Amino acid sequence: MRGMVTLKSEAEIERMRASGRIVAEVLAAIETQIGPGVTTLELDRLAESIIRGHEGARPAFKGYGGFPASICASVNDEVVHGIPSKSRRLEQGDIVGIDVGVLLDGYHADAARTFGVGQVAEETGKLLAVTRSALEAGIDAAQPGARLGDVSAAIQNLAESAGFSIVRDLVGHGIGQHLHEDPQVPNFGVEGRGLELEPGLVIAIEPMVNVGGAEVRTLQDAWTIVTIDGSLSAHFEHTVAITEGGPDILTRVA
């Protein structure tokens, strides 16, 4: 424990990796189902079925702060926290951000990917590629002894150099026994500033990148966050443990 930041033991990180494998399995399964005509509620039901198919696992989002679903499904100008719906049917050229959290054996993992629906426009494809690369840049910067600002700056520099904007009102976070823990992990910042990254720190790194301006607002459902200018937004996320050997991604199948 350091301040409000909790460092995890190797055993705790392995528990989070077990949760993370389920998260990765859900995202891989959803990718195979995304296409024109599919509803976001169908994707939610698939996710919940897979999660509950693992003994003791449950969707971390369902009921969290009153959230009604197992995944967040955010379409086009929806940045995050989109509520799955039987009336929201994906269309050719859409993008949909799928955010998944799993609680297993007392520990959480959390990841997100944004998928194109069928063929997407060239600029849309660039947005997805840049946001994914921004996540990878943030992870690469998450080395033991580095600073949180190094992660933030790596994400910001990659996204902004491509001509896109970084959402500033929403940030990544620590994760462990709670879905959201300290520290906050902004997607913008200054190298060399902020918390020193120590082995045992586990963080969810999650760039949210917009084609247009950075400004966002929350819809009347009190959950869905959209771009104010209506521009497309993409979201990629991994749960990452800082180890002596470097960053260790916990939310993948391998």
The fourth-level CATH superfamily of domain 10-249 is: Creatinase/methionine aminopeptidase superfamily (3.90.230.10)
pLDDT (0 to 100) of residue 1: 44
Mean of the per-residue pLDDT values of the chain: 97
221 contact partners, CB below 8 Å, separation of at least 6:
83
127-165 pLDDT, tens per residue? 999 999 999 999 999 999 999 999 999 999 999 999 999
Nearest 5°: phi and psi at 246? 120, -170
Element (H or E) spanning 123, and its range?
A: helix 122-141
pLDDT (0 to 100) of residue 253: 74
Domain assignments of the chain as residue spans, ordered by start = 10-249
103-119 pLDDT, tens per residue? 999 999 999 999 999 99
Structure tokens, 108: 């959480």
Global pTM reads: 0.97
Q: What percent of the chain has pLDDT over 90?
A: 98
Q: Up-side HSE of residue 46: CA atoms within 13 Å toward CB?
A: 21
Structure tokens, 97: 């951000």
Listed range (3-12, 119-128, 161-170, 180-189) with the worst mean pLDDT: 3-12
Kindly indicate the confidence band of residue 38, based on its pLDDT and cuts at 50, 70 and 90: very high
